[in-house]
A and B are shown apart, each in its own frame.
Chain A
């Protein structure tokens, strides 16, 4: 990992307008509501949070698969926030995505060879030794049998399909990949295989990864740094080891304590923070700190004043009363 910053996100906002209905005035879903972070070359940043916290939207907006409402995205020194479609196409060779569901991410009517060679075709790249050769090398690299070049997606298992998606994403040797829940659809024994594969590819190619996941155990294994999101905002961000050992935000603490571990003796003695209630609606998030409706440390100040991310120990935390 070098100290070179490859991606820099500043105050990124993505609001989706909600259609007018009889009893609701025009309103917006605040999916991503002002997040900022940097990603260094070869680094993995884990983005964790519960469903609806905006982590997937954040990933898609950074890749400009949806247009940001405001904020700034700087990729390799270029401000790409305002880039239009044709200008993005040339940059897309450098930024790729791996999707969550390996069943719907592959065209069922195309052969594996065709699917993995799509990036070469779209970017009009002629690899040395020909496309077929390059694709077969890629297949071998991700642990697929190159002889299966002419097979169709339905002939592969979930884990193998995810390998196909990974081969496609790394085909052009990108500098940055958004991996959106890449292992959550897989069984544990297969999940470990795919995590290890991602790990190897990253080390060999020096790729930076934004690893989006809800599973905190998986995120700890793969990330150098972790950002915890809640209702469109980053609650805490910092180096993985520090965040997992000495988290300062009550939400991070609650999340960590809620994950059941495969260790019955410690599970029985463990103190769990059980949050009450559910995630509030991102259309009408609570005022002040968005976590105040579920926080056990809530004070009046939390309901009125939005906490900013401040450095505390090794992590940055957005809380008025950090632990």
Chain B
């Protein structure tokens, strides 16, 4: 499998009047052709900042970035952090395209759907207006919009939420990118429409062998579509692994806590949910050690001092499943296995 994206030790911080907001703190991950890699986390965990960094979408001067983001582009690799605006613009949309959460605000209300799609093509193929329009109609057809030639002449307000998200996907596909970043692509949609969009994304991925970086807070969506999962908390990846590892053999107490607190439709009915106590820390004053330590119930199994003062490294028994936690492996296995029994 060809690697399409490699992020290494990415740090992104935003200076504010209140102090430095460390939004992303040492994130490394990679996405290859044909696979779906998920970043899952709660609001403020840094998942969207990570995806915007890949697209080079932070305003000039607003973000302090370090590390590297290489994207497969024109037969070579482009490092987004060091690249100039010109190079990034030639990459954007053509090598990596992005689908945003809110299809209502991502489309311009004054322009016809077909023209907005064509524009995405014209950016990379200037002057080819006719070709752009016919491609727009072709893409609308591909994402399941009936009578595409007719609908291309309509405006966004004439489309429903689900249809608009289809338009966003069509727009992302205009330049046949090898990779898609989907930032909460179904969060604004109803479940029955969400099911349609997820099915569409999966079939497009198969057809074009695209790599997808999926950003979401919904563990159900992650379970349905992804192969690899990164769990983020307070700007760091706290656990990284295959989808089965993450859901059936959690290594980090935060991931375990998420699995226990998410309500499931179950045959046994309603047991009391097991909430994670407390709340995420402020990104301005992160704890010196593990950011999850103040909420962690497994701190008793470790030398609590280490949790408070020392940031654990990503480590694990295999390279494909790692987590950032000081807990002793033997103690973890026994107590986590017990906790997982209660999950269902």
Residues of A that sit less than 8 Å from B by CB: 50-51, 157-160, 187-193, 195-196, 199, 214-218, 220-223, 240-241, 244-245, 254-265, 267, 272, 274-276, 278-279
- B220 x A259 contact (CB < 8 A): yes
Say which one of B21-29, B190-198, B316-324 lies at the interface with A.
B190-198
- A220 x B192 contact (CB < 8 A): no
Residues of B that sit less than 8 Å from A by CB: 42-43, 160-163, 190-196, 198-199, 217-224, 243-244, 247-248, 257-259, 261-267, 269-270, 272-277, 279, 344
CA distance A193 to B42 in the complex (A): 15
With contacts A214-B190, A220-B269, A254-B192 taken as known, whether A189 is within 8 angstroms of B223 at the C-beta atoms is no
- A220 x B223 contact (CB < 8 A): no
With contacts A244-B265, A278-B163 taken as known, whether A260 is within 8 angstroms of B223 at the C-beta atoms is yes
- B191 x A258 contact (CB < 8 A): yes
CA distance A159 to B43 in the complex (A): 12
From A50, A192, A240, A265, give the contact of B261 (CB < 8 A): A192
From A217, A244, A254, A264, give the contact of B244 (CB < 8 A): A264
CA distance A159 to B193 in the complex (A): 28
With contacts A214-B190, A278-B162 taken as known, whether A262 is within 8 angstroms of B275 at the C-beta atoms is no
- A188 x B191 contact (CB < 8 A): no
With contacts A220-B269, A221-B263, A261-B223 taken as known, whether A192 is within 8 angstroms of B191 at the C-beta atoms is no
CA distance A259 to B247 in the complex (A): 17
Among A189, A218, A260, the most chain B Cβ lie within 10 Å of the Cβ of A189
Q: What distance in Å separates the Cβ of B221 from its nearest Cβ neighbour in chain A?
A: 5
Chain B residues contacting A199 (CB-CB under 8 Å) are 272
Q: What distance in Å separates the Cβ of A130 from its nearest Cβ neighbour in chain B?
A: 30
With contacts A241-B269, A255-B192 taken as known, whether A188 is within 8 angstroms of B279 at the C-beta atoms is no
Which applies to chain A's interface (DSSP): helix, strand, loop or mixed? helix
- A196 x B263 contact (CB < 8 A): no
Chain A residues contacting B161 (CB-CB under 8 Å) are 51, 278
Chain B residues contacting A223 (CB-CB under 8 Å) are 270
CA distance A158 to B190 in the complex (A): 22
Chain A residues contacting B222 (CB-CB under 8 Å) are 262
Chain A residues contacting B272 (CB-CB under 8 Å) are 196, 199
CB-based nearest A residue for B220: A260
Q: What distance in Å separates the Cβ of B258 from its nearest Cβ neighbour in chain A?
A: 6
Chain B residues contacting A279 (CB-CB under 8 Å) are 160, 190
Chain A residues contacting B192 (CB-CB under 8 Å) are 50, 254-255, 258, 274-275
- B42 x A187 contact (CB < 8 A): yes
Q: What distance in Å separates the Cβ of B128 from its nearest Cβ neighbour in chain A?
A: 33
CA distance A187 to B261 in the complex (A): 10
CB-based nearest A residue for B244: A264
Provide 11 A-B residue pairs closer than 8 Å at the C-beta atoms, listed in order of the A residue: A50-B192, A159-B279, A160-B279, A220-B265, A220-B266, A262-B223, A263-B344, A264-B244, A264-B247, A272-B199, A274-B195
- B275 x A192 contact (CB < 8 A): yes
- B269 x A260 contact (CB < 8 A): no
- B265 x A216 contact (CB < 8 A): yes
Chain A residues contacting B262 (CB-CB under 8 Å) are 188, 192, 217, 262
From B224, B269, B273, B276, give the contact of A240 (CB < 8 A): B269
Chain A residues contacting B274 (CB-CB under 8 Å) are 192
From A192, A244, A264, A272, give the contact of B263 (CB < 8 A): A192
Chain B residues contacting A276 (CB-CB under 8 Å) are 196
With contacts A189-B275, A278-B162 taken as known, whether A217 is within 8 angstroms of B265 at the C-beta atoms is yes
CA distance A221 to B42 in the complex (A): 21
- A188 x B217 contact (CB < 8 A): yes
Chain B residues contacting A160 (CB-CB under 8 Å) are 279
- B270 x A278 contact (CB < 8 A): no
- B217 x A264 contact (CB < 8 A): no
With contacts A261-B220, A261-B223 taken as known, whether A192 is within 8 angstroms of B269 at the C-beta atoms is no
With contacts A221-B273, A255-B192 taken as known, whether A263 is within 8 angstroms of B261 at the C-beta atoms is no
Chain B residues contacting A195 (CB-CB under 8 Å) are 263, 273, 275
In order of increasing CB-CB distance, the 9 nearest A-B pairs are: A260-B220, A192-B275, A187-B42, A192-B261, A50-B190, A262-B219, A189-B276, A192-B273, A258-B195
With contacts A192-B275, A220-B265, A221-B263 taken as known, whether A262 is within 8 angstroms of B191 at the C-beta atoms is no
CB-based nearest B residue for A262: B219
- A262 x B276 contact (CB < 8 A): no
CB-based nearest A residue for B274: A192
- B160 x A278 contact (CB < 8 A): yes
